[in-house]
Amino acid sequence: MSPHSFSRRSFLAACAASLALRASNKQIPIGLELYSVRNALSQDLSGTVQQVAHMGYRCVEFFAPYYSWTPDYAKQVRQQLDSLGLKCYSTHNGMVSFSSQGMDKAMELNKILGTRFIVLASAGRIDSLDGWKHVAGVLNEANRAMEKEGFHAGYHNHELEWRPINGERPMDVLAANTDKSVMLQLDVGTCVAAGADPVAWVNQNPGRIRSMHLKEWSPQKGYRVLFNEGVVPWKQLFEAAERTGGAEYYLIEQEGSDYPELEAVDRCLIAYRNLRGLRA
C-alpha cells in the first residue's frame, strides 16, 4: 500500500465518520424542561404545551407537580402530546416517587405518559458522604423495581453535588455507588457554576449521560443568560455526550431571563439550531 493510497483511505474514513456524527446529531431530539415555562404552565398547561410544540421542540419533561395528577388527567395530557408529535422521555420527581408508598403511582403516571426515566430532581440538603451513599442506595433499590416495569431511575444534579465533602464530590460518590443503568442526568449550568468540568464528567461516565439539561451560565448573569451566551463549551460537550455519554435526548432549561418565559425558550431553541447547524 502506498502512502498516498493510505492517506486517501484515511481521508475517506474521516469524512464518513464526520457525516455519521452529523447524522447522529440531527437524530437526537431537542426538548424542553417545562420548569422553564412554569408560570405559563400553571395558568394553561394545554396552551403552553401547544406553543412549545409549535416552536419546534420535539419532547418535554414534566417536573414534580405532575405527581398530583390523576391517571385520567395524565391520559388527557398524553393524548395532546401525541396529537402534537411530542414525546415525554422523563419526568422530574421528589423523593416520594422513590418510596414504597409513592413509587406505584409514579410508575402508573409515567407509563401513561410514555416515559423511560423517572428522575430524582433533588435529594435535599445532604451534608455527609454517608448521606450521599444512602441516596445511591435509594436510587439502586428504586431502579431495580422500576426496571421490572420498563423504566430506569435517574438523578439530576445541582451545584451542591459538585462541592467536595472531605475531599470527595457527592457526584463522584453517586456515580460510583449506583447501578450503571441509573441515568446521571447532567444539569450543565449548575456543573459549570460550581467550577466543575462537564466534558470531563461525561467522559468519565460513559453511557450514563443519556440526557442533559442544556442550562447556560455566565459569571455576570448566572442562569439568566440564554443558551450559548455564557461560558459553557457546548461544542466539546455535545461531542463528548454523543461519542461517550450515550446521549439520547437533550432538554433546554431556562431558570429566568430578561425575556418573558416563552420568548426566552424560543430564543434558546433558535440558538441551539444555529450552533448545531440544524434547520427549523
pLDDT for 35 equals: 98
Tell me whether residue 3 is in a domain: no
What percent of the chain lies above the pLDDT cut of 70?
Answer: 91
Decide which of 7 and 259 is more confident: 259
Please tell me the pTM assigned to this model.
Answer: 0.90
Spatial separation of the C-alpha atoms in residues 180 and 251, rounded to whole Å = 22
What is the SS3 string spanning 88-141? EEEEEECHHHHCCCCHHHHHHHHHHHCCCEEEECCCCCCCCHHHHHHHHHHHHH
Tell me whether residue 109 is in a domain: yes
Q: How far is CA 99 from CA 104, 120, 139, 142, 145, in A?
A: 9, 11, 10, 8, 11
Tell me whether residue 126 is in a domain: yes
Tell me whether residue 12 is in a domain: no
Tell me whether residue 188 is in a domain: yes
66 has a pLDDT exceeding 80: yes
37 has a pLDDT exceeding 90: yes
67 has a pLDDT exceeding 80: yes
Tell me whether residue 248 is in a domain: yes
Band the pLDDT of 84: cuts 50, 70, 90.
very high
pLDDT for 23 equals: 43
Helix (H, G, I), strand (E, B) or coil at 255: coil
Query: What's the pLDDT tens digit per position in 7-16?
Result: 444 334 334 4
Spatial separation of the C-alpha atoms in residues 260 and 274, rounded to whole Å = 21
180 has a pLDDT exceeding 70: yes
Q: Is the separation of the CB atoms in 98 and 136 below 8 Å?
A: no
CATH number for position 96: 3.20.20.150
pLDDT for 52 equals: 98
Rounded average pLDDT over 72-80: 98
Tell me whether residue 187 is in a domain: yes
pLDDT for 117 equals: 98
Q: Is the separation of the CB atoms in 233 and 272 below 8 Å?
A: no
Q: Is the separation of the CB atoms in 29 and 211 below 8 Å?
A: no
pLDDT for 280 equals: 76
Rounded average pLDDT over 101-121: 98
Rounded average pLDDT over 253-263: 97
Domain count, the chain: 1
Tell me whether residue 22 is in a domain: no
Band the pLDDT of 53: cuts 50, 70, 90.
very high
Element (H, E) at 186: strand 183-187
Which domain covers residue 159, as residue numbers?
29-276
Q: Given the DSSP bridges, would you call strands 117-120 and 87-93 parallel, antiparallel or unpaired? A: parallel
pLDDT for 152 equals: 98
